[in-house]
Amino acid sequence: MAISSPPVPTFSASFCCTRTEFPSTFNRIPSIFSRAHRARPHPLTRRLALSARLNSSKSSDAGGSVSPDNGDLQYELFHGFSPQRCRRGSPVFVTLPVHSVGSLGAVRRPKAMVQSFKALAVAGVEGVVMEVWWGLVERDRPMLYNWEGYLEIVSLARRCGLKVRAVLAFHQCGAGPEDSHWIPLPLWVLEEIDKDPDLVYSDRFGRRNVEYLSLGCDMLPVLRGRSPLQAYADFMRNFRDTFRPFLGVVITGIQVGMGPAGELRYPSCPTQKLTWAWRSRELGEFQCYDKYMLASLNACAREIGMPEWGNGGPFGAANLMQDPELTEFFRSDDGSWNTSYGTFFLEWYSGMLVLHGERICREAETIFRGTEASTSVKLAGMHWHYRTKSHPSELTAGYYNTSTRDGYLPIARMLAKYGFTLCCSGFDLQDEEERKMNPVSSPEGLLRQLLSAARLCDIPLEGETSAASLDNESLQQVVRMSKYYSYGLEKPSFSFNFVRMDKNMFEFHNWVHFTRFVRQMSDANAFRAKLEVDAMPDTRRSPTSLSDVTKFGMASAYC
């Protein structure tokens, strides 16, 4: 039962700090989060004061009431951020709700956001992940950017002692206007797509996917005189200039979008379908039928003297839902994926994807060089057919990974070349559960391969959950898979993003599981949080307990 059930206490919150308050202007100032300060102990602590007037005398059935008292209580939270915490453990970040910033560019429900940020800080969370949507920031006209809501979120995070990871999202969110989380590409980009539908991916049936612009036109001036790559670079450059006072201090990480759902992949399966129960049956469709992709394929085929190979994708790839063993291309023993033609096509198809990633990495590395903010790229976890020989769902997504070829090592090497971190999801998934739906699925096997590639190329790793799973078994699976990457490394560089914050997180049992998980990941010995209650001016103070933090978190639920 959720603690936030009626009647709900109302809060009058004020924030104070033992250090000098930050000015409203965005000047760069020394911070306990700067790299220079992390290198040595810092004696200062931040002091958070919260006044709460409780309107209810009823306690929760869940056993975690905020207080039965009907008076004014003064809660003072002393949260000391140990400079060793990040180095000794694995910091945890929490992804914000998709709709944190509304369509007009303002923060939605700012008071609830404040309370939620305070709860996360008390729980020991390192920071938040903020998705910065191209379709909101550059919504109406080219190079007209509105960063207002995102500036407000970053400023709030700084005041609450949280770091920020910014995800530069160059893709669509949601399935359509009827979706409550609908965020399309910029309106002016959609106008150009209407004029030239080949700007987006297409499959062999002519179905177009507007989640992300086709990488076939990366370098062509199809967006009112600019190429998509130039549009992405201009966006990143303006982000850097606008948020420069925060970069490396509050904004410590920047994930650069590379495709649908921000992942470096083709939209072989619509993103919304990846959350459906029967997703495990999806083979995917090759996305190479827009005129720009076909032109590249045709040129490559002619170059090797096989022009007949350049007219489209593979024959016999069947449809999205068919058994791969019944298809001419994907079947294990004599499928054409393992022929000269299959090798040619898959090398071209995956090579185009890696080239797209490298182009954007090169631009981002140049733009953010010297800011002290890390950069990362996210890969998809297409594990539905990992235990087959041909791995069809990976091949259609652009990962040339089969039983005889490692398709992720080339991507990891590319990321290492430009100093990028690898981000991958699925840390909460277990083979035992997934195989109940599909016996050839193996999320653990795929994840171990990705982690091995990161270790081999010596690149940092960001983990993510595939869903907002707050049951204890899912969270313990995250801990186990995290250790797989870090085991034996002298200086493992691993952090974790929990996807995502919602009202369920702050329910009693979920919040208990989550705070325990944060302590496990962040190193409980280094985590310090004190909760002091001033019922009277000279009241005695006692240190915080897990239940105290839990009560505060539930009372601050972002619903």
The set of catalytic residues is: 263, 464
3-state per-residue secondary structure call for 406-418: CCCHHHHHHHHHC
How far apart are the C-alpha atoms of 141 and 340, rounded to whole Å?
47
Q: Helix H segments across 127-201?
A: 134-137, 148-159, 187-195
Question: Which H or E element spans position 236?
Answer: helix 228-242
Q: What is the three-class DSSP state of 551?
A: helix
> At which residue do the structure tokens 């919602």 appear?
502
How far apart are the C-alpha atoms of 170 and 137, rounded to whole Å?
10
Number of Cβ within a 10 Å radius of residue 189? 25
User: What are residue 63's phi and psi, to 5 degrees?
Assistant: 85, 20
Strands 163-169 and 127-133: parallel
| Burial (CB count <10 Å: 0-12, 13-18, 19+), residue 461 | buried
| Burial (CB count <10 Å: 0-12, 13-18, 19+), residue 194 | exposed
How far apart are the C-alpha atoms of 349 and 504, rounded to whole Å?
41
How far apart are the C-alpha atoms of 117 and 141, rounded to whole Å?
33
How far apart are the C-alpha atoms of 46 and 430, rounded to whole Å?
39
User: What are residue 471's phi and psi, to 5 degrees?
Assistant: -70, 150
**Any idea how long the chain is?**
559
> At which residue do the structure tokens 């190329």 appear?
457
Number of Cβ within a 10 Å radius of residue 201? 28
Q: What is the three-class DSSP state of 76?
A: strand
Q: What is the three-class DSSP state of 127?
A: strand
Q: Helix H segments across 3-98?
A: 35-38, 85-88
R_g of the chain, CA atoms, integer Å = 25
Name which of 464, 38, 462 is nearest 253 in CA terms.
Answer: 462
Q: Taking CA 40 as the corner, what is the angle to CA 37 and CA 41, rounded to the nearest 5 degrees?
A: 100
